[in-house]
Amino acid sequence: MEFLNWIVSQGNKIIWSYVLIYMLIGLGILFTIQTKFVQFRHFGEMFRIIVEKDRVAKKGKGVTSAQAFFVSAASRVGTGNLAGVAIAIALGGPGAVFWMWLIAMIGMASAFVESTLAQVYKVKDGNDFRGGPAYYMEKALNARWLGIIFAILITLCFGLIFNAVQANTIAAAFEQAFSVNKTMMAMILAVITAIIIFGGIHRIAKVTQIIVPVMAGIYILVALIVVLMNMTEIPSIIALIIKNAFGLEEIVGGGIGATLMQGIKRGLFSNEAGMGSAPNAAAAANVSHPAKQGFIQSLGVFFDTIIICSATAFIILLFDVSPDKDLNGIQLTQAALSSHMGNWASIFIAVAIFLFAFSSIIGNYYYGETNIEFIRDNKTWLFLYRVAVVAMVIFGCVSGFQIVWDLADLFMGLMAVINLIVITLLSNIAVKVLKDYVKQRKEGKDPLFKASNISGLTNAEAWEGQKDQQSF
């Protein structure tokens, strides 16, 4: 175990200290410029699309744009929003929140590019669609071998390791609030997970469409009450975040480096922009134009980090406590909210983290499923994967806190490096698709996509011809 810990820590040090931070910021800025600040110029369009009824979406044919949003939001909105923010503040200080905000704002452009590409290169799967980075690596770059590597990484990362993280946080929260034995929690969670994941993408979409908006709305409302109760302290909290972000007010060991590292690392874990995960959900949507799902996933990053993560950050920063070995992660968030709202808040957080993290488990599972089908469409492999997911949920509940987070960071970093390189090579396609969408909107049309309208676009089999596309 000590050797495994050393390998994981060294891998994280290399990826996060020397590679990924510069890629996330640099390429996020590049995509922002290439798309002419898509995340700001078309912010209103994102909200319009999520509530519209797309004219090509038909009952039983794929999932809707909104459902795809909630599947990806289910994966995003989880432990990263409640436990991850607490870890970032504990290890990086209040300034980590600023870097989480920054990586989200520029990451919205990265999310647009990768999710638009996933829509462009999606494939039909019976009455449904599937796609993601592995698919655009094969179809756009003719690099199936790279797609297989990515598919293996995302299956291990999301389907197994990230789900262990989610389960670990649920078990810790229920132990804190209800003194529930972790082994008992593992068995309960395993049974519920098995019931949902053996039902396929439509059951997953229906469950997440209920859990995510309801629980997120309640949590944001509670956070807003906390902020209103402490309104006079908000300006000083914001000032503290900014000062600490640039090393003007030293709070944690390691200074600005630790602050930046934790903010970006936990921000990426939460919103997944550029990591290559959300495009798997984006590809499942049946829409009339790929850019629509790019907009939707860009909005997902804003919703996850700027709204929900900020809510958690203010709850914690308005709570005067120093984290220790017995008060970290989700327990810190529970203690902070309890100080504001009373002892019932610890129970509320336990219930919230259960719903958030459970929705993440089933959302994460889907990412693995669609990538296993990319490697090999085999029912036996899919069954074994489902069994492994349930086993990792059990493992996560009873395992140690640090090792599951460290493993998640390592695999997340490897995925992001590969995906960021690929979408950089393909970003010109996403930009052309965006221009096609904007042109049609200016003409007063509801944009309808044809692959033939994009110069240099090949292997976009789901969009080859307007007639075929409408028949979906």
Residue 155 has pLDDT above 80, yes or no: yes
Answer with the residue of higher pLDDT: 342 or 80.
342
Most confident residue range from 55-59, 298-302, 372-376, 438-442: 438-442
Q: Quote the pLDDT of residue 469.
A: 42
Mean predicted confidence (pLDDT) in 192-201: 79
Rounded Cα distance between 116 and 242, Å, is 33
- Are residues 383 and 144 in contact, defined by beta-carbon separation less than 8 angstroms? no
Beta bridge partners of 125: 128
- Sequence-ordered list of residues with C-beta below 8 angstroms from that of 363, at least 6 positions apart, any chain: 71, 72, 73, 74, 75, 76, 204, 208, 281
Most confident residue range from 195-209, 328-342, 386-400, 434-448: 434-448
Rounded Cα distance between 466 and 333, Å, is 51
pTM for this entry: 0.82
Q: Quote the pLDDT of residue 389.
A: 93
Most confident residue range from 47-56, 68-77, 248-257, 449-458: 449-458
Q: Quote the pLDDT of residue 139.
A: 95
**Structural domains of the chain, with CATH:** 2-471 (1.20.1740.10)
Q: Degrees (nearest 5) of the Cα angle 126, 132, 133?
A: 145
Q: Quote the pLDDT of residue 465.
A: 59
Round the average pLDDT of the chain to a whole number and report it: 81
Rounded Cα distance between 426 and 31, Å, is 11
- Are residues 24 and 103 in contact, defined by beta-carbon separation less than 8 angstroms? yes
Answer with the residue of higher pLDDT: 161 or 75.
161
Rounded Cα distance between 104 and 68, Å, is 20
Rounded Cα distance between 96 and 259, Å, is 5
Q: Quote the pLDDT of residue 439.
A: 95
Q: Quote the pLDDT of residue 470.
A: 41
Query: Could you tell me what percent of the chain has a pLDDT over 70?
Result: 80
The lowest-confidence range among 23-37, 51-65, 214-228 is 51-65
Most confident residue range from 146-150, 202-206, 256-260: 146-150
Residue 298 has pLDDT above 90, yes or no: yes
Mean predicted confidence (pLDDT) in 298-321: 83
Rounded Cα distance between 338 and 16, Å, is 34
Q: Summarize pLDDT for 93-120 with one digit per residue, the tens.
A: 888 888 889 888 999 999 999 999 999 9
Mean predicted confidence (pLDDT) in 197-219: 72
